Amino acid sequence: MKSSRIFLFGIALIVATASPAQFLKKLQQKAEQKLEKKVDKAVDKELGINQNQPTQTQLGGQNNPGGSSSGNSGGNNPSNNSGGGLISTPPNVKQNLSDAEASYKKNSYSEARYAVQQAMLGVELEIGNQILKSLPETISSLPKDVSSDQVTSTGSGWAGLTIQRKYQDKKDKQLTITIANNAMWMSAVNAYMTNGGYAQQTGGEQNWKQTKVKGNRAIIEFDKSSGYKLSVPIGQSSLIVYEGINFASEQEMIKAAETVDIDGIKKMLGEQ
Amino acid sequence: MKYVFLSIILCTPLVMVAQDFDKNLASAKSSYSSGKLEDARFAMEQMLRDLDIAIGKEIMKILPTKLGALNYNAKDDNITGGSGSITGLFVQRSFGAVPKRGSIDIINNSPMISSITSILSMPLIGGMMRNENQKIVKVLGYKSLLNKNVDSETGKTNYELQVPMNNTLLTLKMDDTSEAEITQAGNSLPLQKIAQLAQ
């Protein structure tokens, strides 16, 4: 008898304590639902979506003006499936120099600067293409991949010129050569080379060291996931970076780097 | 006679820039024609520097000679053409003397522009980065960032107003001043004309 009373008291206590908690939970859920609805309405209003409009799935193909939903996946906005892209034409250097001269004479300095930047862009692209031509057809039996050739220039002088060529066997071996002129990271590399604080150490895992490529001081690095990276600063403001994936050894990497005519590139970039 | 002499002195640097520009233009044309691309490129870099200096001089002409009660320091006027360096054109004019100084810096292609624009245009990022000493204000229609800095040694309040305009950043600094004073000084600057010249 006594135990049943205790049991009943316990039940009453649980109900008494649980009810306010459940009530609060319910209240919280209701508030969340209301808030969610309000936010949805506000977003729909901002996006200009009509609340009473049927959804895309309800519309089906017959109400779609195009009769097809494939080109219309983003609501009622058509997606582009034609057009010839942009024509990549290097700026006409001579014309831009003449424009710069004319603008300068009219004291339109801003216009003159734009024209000079365009002329410089044209010249840098020509330099880049000459350098690409000078690179070997194959390196370490990897053929060049012309489709990935890149010459990048901003024409502003300070951001510089970047030239990239890839050599790959379409399997798992690849060599990427990047040549950068007036690159902002040149100072970092030079500091790396000259500062005693970066001196090579013994012991531990050696992931980088100083080396030489055709008489030019260089840094070679190795990373298990990205492979070998060889950075060769040339002259005052240029840098050649070789990135080799699945090269067997440091020697193979350096041998590959030596097939490039570094002195010729130096000359083309006006480096001493 | 005195004015003629003065005008000759004032115009001399611009004439020198013009001569340099013409010389570099001739060099760029002849180098390019003879296939010396790197020499042509070098001459063009010099042309950009010459143009930056010419633009800087035009901007200097329209900058105020007084900032509030502070007079400008004519001999400290500084113009740097940025070709080959990390930023473009740099124009600086200073005002007053220690302990109350002010300055106007105009930098073209400043690396600071993108971060300031983020604070001004994206409330979320701005909210995360902003602090109690930073405020967004409008100066002649341009959204600008106003920074307050209390000097721990002197206890004086210094302000800095950064106005990004397209690819140009104007920074106005005033020591020992008030928000009202620096805002008023900012509103007196020919911002639109500066942006037009520097772009």
Give this complex's ipTM.
0.76
| Residue B52 contacts A where some CB pair is shorter than 8 Å | yes
Q: Which helix (H) or strand (E) holds A150?
A: strand A142-153
Predicted confidence (pLDDT) per residue in A138-193, tens digit:
999 999 999 989 988 865 554 578 899 999 998 899 999 999 887 666 656 666 66
Which pLDDT does position A70 carry in this prediction?
46
Q: Is any Cβ of chain B less than 8 angstroms from the Cβ of A265? A: no
For residues B134-163, give the mean pLDDT: 91
Q: A124 and chain B: CB distance < 8 Å anywhere?
A: yes
Secondary structure (H, E, C), chain B: CHHHHHHHHHHHHHHHHHHHHHHHHHHHHHHHHCCCHHHHHHHHHHHHHHHHHHHHHHHHHHCCCEECCEEECHHHCEEECCCCCCCCCEEEEEEEECCEEEEEEEEECCCCHHHHHHHHHCHHHHHHHCCCCEEEEEECCEEEEEEEEECCCCCCEEEEEEEEECCEEEEEEECCCCHHHHHHHHHCCCHHHHHHHHC
Using an 8 Å CB-CB cutoff, list chain A residues near B55: 109-110, 113
Q: Among residues 87-116 of chain B, which lie with CB inside 8 Å of chain A? A: 87-88, 109
Lowest mean pLDDT segment, chosen from A91-95, A197-201, B141-145, B185-189: A197-201
Q: Which residue of B has its CA nearest to A185?
A: B86
Over range A212-234, report the average pLDDT: 92
* pLDDT at B96 (0 to 100): 94
Residue A137 has pLDDT above 70, yes or no: yes
Per-residue pLDDT tens for B40-57? Answer: 999 998 999 899 999 999
pLDDT at residue number A61: 41
State the average pLDDT over residues B54-70. 93
Least confident of A13-17, A124-128, B56-60, B120-124: A13-17
Question: Is residue A65 scored above 80 in pLDDT?
Answer: no
Tell me, yes or no, if B147 comes closer than 8 A to chain A by beta carbon: no
Helix crossing, A93-105 with B37-62: angle to 10°? 30
- Over residues A46-69, the mean pLDDT reads 45
Residue B35 · residue A267 · CB < 8 Å = no
Average pLDDT of chain B is 84
pLDDT at A3 exceeding the cut of 60: no
Q: How far is CA A49 from CA A45, A60, B5, B170, B178, in A?
A: 6, 18, 72, 42, 48
Look at B19 and A262; give whichever has higher pLDDT: A262
Interchain proximity A158–B85, CB inside 8 Å: yes
For B159-177, what is each residue's pLDDT tens digit? Answer: 999 999 888 899 999 999 9
Chain A residues whose CB is inside 8 A of the B58 CB are 109
Burial pattern A27-66, b for ≥16 Cβ within 10 A else e, equals eeeeeeeeeeeeeeeeeeeeeeeeeeeeeeeeeeeeeeee
For residues B50 and B42, give the distance between their C-alpha atoms in angstroms, rounded to a whole number.
Answer: 13
Is residue A102's pLDDT more than 60?
Answer: yes
- Measured between beta carbons, which residues in chain A are less than 8 angstroms from residue B41? 120, 123-124, 127, 270
CA A152/CA A128 separation, integer angstroms: 8
Output B68 or A74, whichever has higher pLDDT: B68
Q: Which residue has the higher pLDDT, A34 or B50?
A: B50
Question: Under an 8 A CB cutoff, do A101 and B40 touch?
Answer: no
Count of A-B CB contacts under 8 Å: 77
Whole-number Å distance between alpha carbons of B172 and B38: 39
Which of B39, B48, B108 would you mutate first to test chain A, the one with the most A CBs within 10 A?
A: B48
How much is the pTM?
0.67
Considering chain A, what percentage of its residues have pLDDT values greater than 90? Answer: 40
Element containing residue A149 per DSSP (H, E)? strand A142-153
Chain A positions touching B87 (Cβ under 8 A) are 158
- Are B40 and A113 an interchain contact pair (Cβ–Cβ within 8 Å)? no
pLDDT value, residue A12: 46
pLDDT computed for residue A237 by the predictor: 80
pLDDT score for A232: 92
pLDDT score, position B179: 93
Whether B180 has a pLDDT exceeding 70, the answer reads yes
Among the residue ranges A232-241, B63-72, B173-182, B189-198, the one predicted with the least confidence is A232-241
